[in-house]
């Protein structure tokens, strides 16, 4: 057994553990574990500094989850775009391919709680269905492996998936959406990297939410992936009490760049059942974006997106930089709120088109007119 598998075995994963180690009320503990499983591996557990800290909030259940049962289970309506259980096909040229329901830690804010941790919802018999679906759909050029966490499967199973996808000529890129570099960096082994590099181009998107997660172990895992030729991106989720603070986000994104991880998205928290206590007003996200752009490397600035409820896909939101128009001028502000005027150009057809149109009209017997912009 590999080290990471051994560590997984040592996870905190029962209601009893919660009661004994985290003082959770015994009655709540069982209910919480039934609602959405608990799994905290010893590495991630070691990052907790005090009760209720940003690491704790992400992995230790809170009784407030029990009170939030009216919210939808599938707010992004993923099931509607799911032609086979392992595939979500929402965008024209790319699919989400769920290869396992398992994760090395169950995040309390997970948007896919309805499937994750429940092996009856995603399992290996659907992997082949997923590959067959992609093979039958030539418009799919980008496959995002997700779950669960696709690195929860063994190297052998993952290689079968990658090799299967690489046999499909229209699959151009493969992405691995994995939280492992953050929650169980020991999963990134030389053996795994050696295997992955056979199937390039492979992009990795990982999931760090707080600067305390940027440890030497995590840095090493990201460096190994980068050295193996995978561009590594990050998708953070904005959460109350965890990272809803511009200084924390600035620190996180600077640290990620130093770890060779390029910030990609900040997600506004979804409406999933049992996770609403993490939601923040959109104004908070805008405030964070305002404090990133201009104040640090543009490379450290991700897109802030809302995944549209009901399944419209990700919609980017930006602070207001265009303050208005004055005739043909655009009034802009910069990151320091200084005001600038940019003289816009009016769209007019190029000169040769004007001449051509006049020529055609003349030929058709229309009276000669002055060259110029037509109304």
Ligand X SMILES: *Cc1c(COP(=O)(O)O)cnc(C)c1O
Is 65 a binder of ligand SF4 (CB under 6 A)? no
What CA–CA distances, in Å, run from 363 to 213, 331, 349, 350?
A: 73, 44, 20, 20
Nearer to ligand SF4, 168 or 188 (CB): 188
Contacted entry of ligand X, ligand SF4, none for residue 210, CB cut-off 5 to 8 Å set by kind: none
- Say if CB 172 and CB 202 are below 8 A apart: no
Choice from 91, 199, 212, 321 touching ligand X (CB under 6 A): 91
Choice from 88, 178, 243, 276 touching ligand X (CB under 6 A): 88
Annotate each residue in 106-125 with x if it binds ligand SF4 (CB under 6 A) or - if it does not, as one string.
Answer: xx--x-x---x---------
Query: Which 175-214 positions form the footprint of ligand SF4 (CB under 6 A)?
Result: 179
User: Which residues are within 8 A (CB) of 52 and not within 5 positions of it... i.e. 6 or more apart?
Assistant: 241
Contacted entry of ligand X, ligand SF4, none for residue 106, CB cut-off 5 to 8 Å set by kind: ligand SF4
- Say if CB 82 and CB 88 are below 8 A apart: yes
Active-site choice (62, 106, 108, 110): 110
From CA 103, how far away is CA 264, in angstroms rounded? 21
Nearer to ligand X, 293 or 314 (CB): 314
Please, what is the minimum distance in Å from the beta carbon of residue 42 to ligand SF4? 17
314 is catalytic: yes
| CA-angle at 125, arms to 135 and 40, nearest 5° | 110
Nearer to ligand SF4, 230 or 239 (CB): 239
Nearer to ligand X, 77 or 128 (CB): 77
Is 90 a binder of ligand X (CB under 6 A)? yes
- Say if CB 38 and CB 69 are below 8 A apart: no
107 is catalytic: yes
From CA 33, how far away is CA 25, in angstroms rounded? 12
What CA–CA distances, in Å, run from 306 to 34, 105, 179, 292?
A: 29, 24, 20, 18
- Say if CB 165 and CB 150 are below 8 A apart: no
112 is catalytic: yes
Nearer to ligand SF4, 103 or 161 (CB): 103
Is 270 a binder of ligand SF4 (CB under 6 A)? no
**Which segment (102-110, 270-278, 283-291, 312-320) binds ligand SF4 by CB under 6 A?**
102-110
DSSP 279-336: ---HHHHHHHHHHHBTTB-GGG--EEEEE-TTT--EEE-----EEEEETTEEEEE-TT
Is 114 a binder of ligand X (CB under 6 A)? no
166 is catalytic: no
361 is catalytic: no
Is 149 a binder of ligand SF4 (CB under 6 A)? yes
Where b means 16+ CB within 10 Å and e means fewer, 69-97 reads eeeeebbbbbeebbeebbbbbbeeebbbb
Active-site choice (44, 62, 74, 103): 103
Is 314 a binder of ligand X (CB under 6 A)? yes
From CA 18, how far away is CA 28, in angstroms rounded? 10
Catalytic residues: 90-91, 94, 103, 107, 110, 112, 270, 307, 314
Q: Which residues bind ligand X (CB under 6 A)?
A: 88, 90-91, 94, 96, 144, 314
């Amino acid at each position: 057994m590999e080290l990471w598998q051994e560590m997984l075995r040592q996870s905190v994963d029962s209601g009893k553990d919660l009661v004994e180690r985290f003082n959770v009320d015994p009655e709540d503990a069982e209910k919480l574990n039934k609602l959405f499983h608990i799994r905290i591996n010893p590495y991630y557990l070691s990052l907790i500094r005090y009760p209720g800290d940003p690491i704790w909030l992400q992995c230790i259940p809170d009784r407030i989850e029990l009170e939030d049962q009216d919210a939808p289970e599938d707010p992004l309506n993923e099931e509607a775009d799911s032609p086979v259980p392992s595939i979500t096909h929402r965008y024209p040229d790319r699919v989400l391919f769920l290869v396992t329901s398992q994760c090395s830690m169950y995040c309390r804010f997970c948007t896919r709680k309805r499937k994750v941790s429940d092996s009856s919802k995603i399992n290996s018999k659907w992997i082949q269905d997923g590959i067959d679906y992609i093979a039958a759909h030539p418009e799919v050029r980008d496959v995002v492996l997700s779950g669960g966490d696709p690195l929860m499967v063994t190297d052998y199973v993952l290689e079968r998936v990658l090799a299967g996808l690489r046999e499909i000529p229209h699959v151009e890129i493969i992405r691995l959406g994995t939280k492992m570099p953050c929650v169980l960096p020991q999963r990134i082994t030389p053996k795994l990297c050696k295997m992955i590099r056979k199937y390039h181009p492979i992009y990795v998107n990982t999931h760090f939410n707080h600067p305390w997660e940027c440890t030497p172990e995590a840095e090493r895992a990201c460096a190994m992936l980068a050295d193996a030729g995978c561009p590594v991106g990050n998708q953070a989720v904005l959460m109350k009490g965890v990272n809803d603070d511009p200084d924390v986000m600035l620190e996180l994104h600077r640290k990620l760049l130093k770890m060779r991880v390029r910030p990609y998205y900040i997600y506004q928290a979804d409406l999933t059942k049992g996770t609403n206590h993490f939601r923040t007003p959109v104004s908070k996200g805008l405030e964070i974006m305002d404090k990133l752009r201009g104040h640090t490397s543009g490379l450290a600035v991700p897109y802030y997106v809302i995944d549209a409820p009901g399944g419209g896909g990700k919609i980017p939101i930006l602070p207001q930089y265009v303050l208005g128009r004055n005739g043909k001028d655009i009034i802009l502000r910069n990151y320091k709120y200084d005001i600038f005027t940019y003289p816009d150009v009016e769209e007019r057809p190029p000169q040769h088109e004007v001449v051509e149109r006049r020529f055609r009209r003349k030929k058709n017997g229309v009276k000669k007119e002055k060259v110029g912009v037509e109304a």
